[in-house]
Amino acid sequence: MELHGLLHTFPKHIKLFIAVFVIMLTVGYGSGLLFVGNTNSNNPSGMEENYLGNEEDENAEVMKFKKGEREMLTILHTHVISISFIFFFLGGLIAMTSLPKKLKTFLMIEPFLSILLTFGGIYLLWKGMLWMKYIVMLSGIVMTIVFVVSVMSILFQLTKKAQ
């Protein structure tokens, strides 16, 4: 079965359905990024404080306590599963574009590595490996870039006519 360029051949109403789905994924992903910014986890020290607490800082605006094991496992479980599904669906749509095969492969596979590094890194940070905050930041940035490039590619590809 040939998937390359299949997205271009879909009827207009299916393309519209896919476009709306991808836009809604983007709204959800973007709201997640806003939440990360709201918790000050968008920088290494804020991330460390978010998971390990700041009880020793008497001048902290907001008192934060180290997350418990149950809370950490819940955060990791829900995020790994849900974000994996997001990138599974995006990857399926990327597979049907007419992008070069190597770029498609990268856009389809890399997010899963970033999910592992981001959320595995958060767990290791919580366990005391403080340098993991930099790995988490880098992998989270790469994951977001891949998300944006994938979404833009899919939306652009949906405007192309079948050849």
pLDDT single digits (tens) 54-77: 888 777 778 888 899 999 999 999
Environment class of 34 (CB within 10 Å of its CB; exposed 0-12, middle 13-18, buried 19+)? exposed
Residue 1 is assigned to a structural domain of this protein: no
Task: Please count the structural domains in the chain.
Answer: 1
122 vs 6, higher pLDDT: 122
What pTM did the predictor assign? 0.92
DSSP for 51-82? Answer: HHB-TT-TT-SS--BPPPHHHHHHHHHHHHHH
Q: Is the pLDDT of residue 10 over 90?
A: yes
Q: Is the pLDDT of residue 130 over 80?
A: yes
Structural domain including 49 reads 6-159
Q: Is the pLDDT of residue 162 over 80?
A: no
